[in-house]
Structure 1
């Protein structure tokens, strides 16, 4: 029992907290690499290609160690679709971080539960019960999250903290900064609209082919191929594809191993074990980490708009989570009542069978 509890509850919790901290660190490292001149298109290609190389033995090992269904055209086509969604999401996300900051990315990532709820309604995966407390909470939380995203994207507000005051005069003009911030926010919002789609397709794939490492190998391979095609079109300078012993190389290696490989594997495993709602629960944790790391390592300036918007998004996030928990409690009570009404009819039959068994003995 203790081992099962650790596997079902303690291990997923520890893994998800670790991955959120890792993701913020990787975003911060990526921002530092792009500030040194690295192309984000090249970054995506190398990071996912490295993860695919690391996972190359996975399909052969999994087929020998486990009884799995064949990788037919239907499963592979869904993995390719997953790769299209993932590559689009990653390119939009890294472009958004390049235009803004890891702090904004972490704040807007809390829109995932709201977008998941909206898409679940569209795909009829979520039920709407009128006059239900849980439904009202989820709708209110969704509206709050979207409102917070508008605040953090469109309103920077006064400066709360400046990491390096002496560098303020060297920054770009205010209007230029604001326009870049808005573009970055819109791109990051687009990324986190695609993430719930990734969850939905991934959950369907895992039902048909329940092997995380093999699925992630083909996913990383697909993303690296798509990103390479896009990169060859957008990056005309051959020197952009060269990596030297600098922060860019460190960022690619760390993102390939701890992001594209480990992070995707852990998220797929947690998604399979606990579901997308559980995976989304840990998003607000990244805001505080991103703010601290951005200020300490990137010299980011902390604005009031980021703080207020992130707070609104977090309130909306936990409102959606509370609604989901309330809904689960309502479903459990309905199942309990149905089970009780069934059991009330059983004792006579059970006693009859028990008495008959005793006579036979």
Structure 2
């Protein structure tokens, strides 16, 4: 039981860390950091954290390709929109992953069973809560003055807002595919460090090729000892290294749907960090959305817990029935 609670606590912490990265990324890119170069430096630096952990080689090109694509789409989308929209769009990941898990038969859905009903309803409720935060503001609760280096969503052109939303939605779908592929690999080869290390190698190579093609300005590769460097180190250690290993471990132990269930929490953390550090204004819609997200998460986790309970009870029943049959067989053989 304590392992399950530890996994839940770690997953909540990871979502908080990721919301922080989205905010730092927006600040760094507003200051002039290239989103393509950022992906290259972040994953390359992450290799320094992962290489000492393992020296075993294993090819995971598909995982690296998906990760590279998702990161470029995500950070480019943040550049066009905002960290709040990026966190809101991650609310699509549980739905995408749930559908893909059903298609690949990693998850079973029987609407006659309460656990399946709870998972389905919880997933939908979490998504609804995430979009209430972004589409319904309501009256303000806390007033704050925004930082001058950031532009509010209303100041961004509508075309950029649409492009950013499309890129972020596409990134959410790619991330869902990534979780499915990662679970498939990690089930056959349960070595999170190895899988993460080799995937980062491919991401670093692929992102470097793309950045060399897209970024024609050599100055974009110059690292400045300011928020840009802080963002890259933050991403390399806490996100690309720690988060990737934890997600691989959670996918192996709990499955991809369980991992993505925590993604809508990023919306809550993004709002909190925006109000605390970026001096955004807190609205009633954000509070309502956060409460709905929490209810959705509880519903999904309740459904997963019920499934585990049913499996454990059926396993115990099989053991008890088999243990009761053994003496009868033994007595029959003695009588003969």
Tell me the distance in 2 between the aligned counterparts of 1:57 and 1:90. 24
1:117 to 98, 105, 121: 98
Tell me the distance in 2 between the aligned counterparts of 1:301 and 1:30. 20
Structure 1 residues 318, 35: CA separation in 2 closer, same or farther (over 3 Å shift)? same
What displacement does 1:40 show? 1.1
2:299 counterpart residue number: 319
What displacement does 1:310 show? 4.5
Structure 1 residues 36, 119: CA separation in 2 closer, same or farther (over 3 Å shift)? same
1:98 to 79, 85, 91: 79
TM-score normalised per structure 1: 0.78
Residue by residue, what CA displacement relative to the aligned partner does 1:20-74 show, whole Å, maximum 9, x if unpaired?
33222222222221121211111111000111233334443xx4xxxxxxx5xxx
What displacement does 1:118 show? 0.8
Listed as ranges, the matches of 1:110-149 within 5 Å are 110-149=91-130
8 Å CA contact 2:51–2:197 kept in 1: the answer is yes
Listed as ranges, the matches of 1:168-207 within 5 Å are 174=154, 176=156, 180-207=160-187
Deviates more, 1:229-238 or 1:13-22: 13-22
SS, match of residue 103 in structure 1: helix
Deviates more, 1:266-275 or 1:255-264: 266-275
8 Å CA contact 2:17–2:238 kept in 1: the answer is yes
SS, match of residue 206 in structure 2: helix
Tell me the distance in 2 between the aligned counterparts of 1:120 and 1:166. 42
Larger radius of gyration: 1
> Does 2:251 correspond to 1:271?
yes
What displacement does 1:16 show? 3.2
Structure 1 residues 243, 32: CA separation in 2 closer, same or farther (over 3 Å shift)? same
> Does 2:24 correspond to 1:29?
yes
Tell me the distance in 1 between the aligned counterparts of 2:213 and 2:298. 42
Residue by residue, what CA displacement relative to the aligned partner does 1:142-193 show, whole Å, maximum 9, x if unpaired?
33344445544555555544420797xx957947466545544443332222
> Does 2:80 correspond to 1:85?
no
1:66 counterpart residue number: none
Tell me the distance in 2 between the aligned counterparts of 1:218 and 1:177. 39
> How many residue pairs align between the two structures?
334
Unmatched segments (≥5 aa) in structure 1? 64-70, 357-361
